[in-house]
Amino acid sequence: MSKKSRKKSSKTPSGSPTAKKKPQKTRASTQTRGAKTQPASASKSSKAGDKAASHKAASKRLKSSEKTSKPAASASAVSATSLPARSLSAKSLSAKSLAEGQKAPAFRLPRDGGNVVTLSDYAGQKLVLFFYPRADTPGCTREAIDFTRLKDAFTAAGTAVLGISADPLKAQEKFRDKHSLGIPLISDEQHEMLEAYGAWGEKSMYGKSFLGILRTTLLIGSDGKVARIWRNVRVDGHADEVLLAARSL
């Protein structure tokens, strides 16, 4: 063998280009595989982080909404429970002590037709005040019609008659026109006269308690003092009973 051929054969196992390139390819392939797997794992971790962040944000929103809703609920509960206490004022409670023989409380209120009525307008004569819960309801309608029917008899007995409720003037006038009532109707929307005469207080219906007008009638003598008081009035025959009391006074 010649020296040239020996040199060529000795270069081939160790210095051939194919032998040197193979390890580079494998390293490159492993690097590319690692590069491919790294974004996937990074995306998964980022998604998990986003989910955790969204859960934290949602929980924060829920906690903040609970904090804001709880005070509102407690405030409404306080206002609901305190309403009856405010309505049952010392004035209305003391008004229940109004008794026969006491001086009738003064009043000044609007009546149907736009005029104003005061207690002093009836000085020196007898006066009937009947307090009814609501205009144009069945019981109140029968009561107002009965007093209208006996109007002339009350006049002959020297007695005037006034009907009082908390209805506005328009409702009172509609009530008057619908049933041809001849009794002046007073509007006490602020409950001032109702409380003063003990006709405003606690009522119950269907097991529930509430504040409202107590059906009450008073007969005031010509001396300005309360002669008779009818509380928890039953409508049937009531106007006739009041007329008898006015005649005997």
Whole-angstrom CA distances from 36 to 20, 27, 42 are: 25, 14, 10
Distance CA 107, CA 10 (A): 134
Distances (CA, A) of 99 to 51, 229, 242: 76, 8, 17
**Which distant-in-sequence residues (6+ apart) come within 8 Å of 124 by Cβ?**
222
Torsion sign over Cα 126, 131, 134, 138: negative
Q: Are β-strands 185-187 and 108-110 bridged in parallel, bridged antiparallel, or unpaired?
A: unpaired
| Chain centre distance of CA 152 | 45
Residue in 129, 135, 140, 185 annotated catalytic: 140
Q: What is the SS3 assignment for 131? A: strand
Instruction: Tell me whether residue 140 is one of the annotated catalytic residues.
Output: yes
Residues involved in catalysis: 140
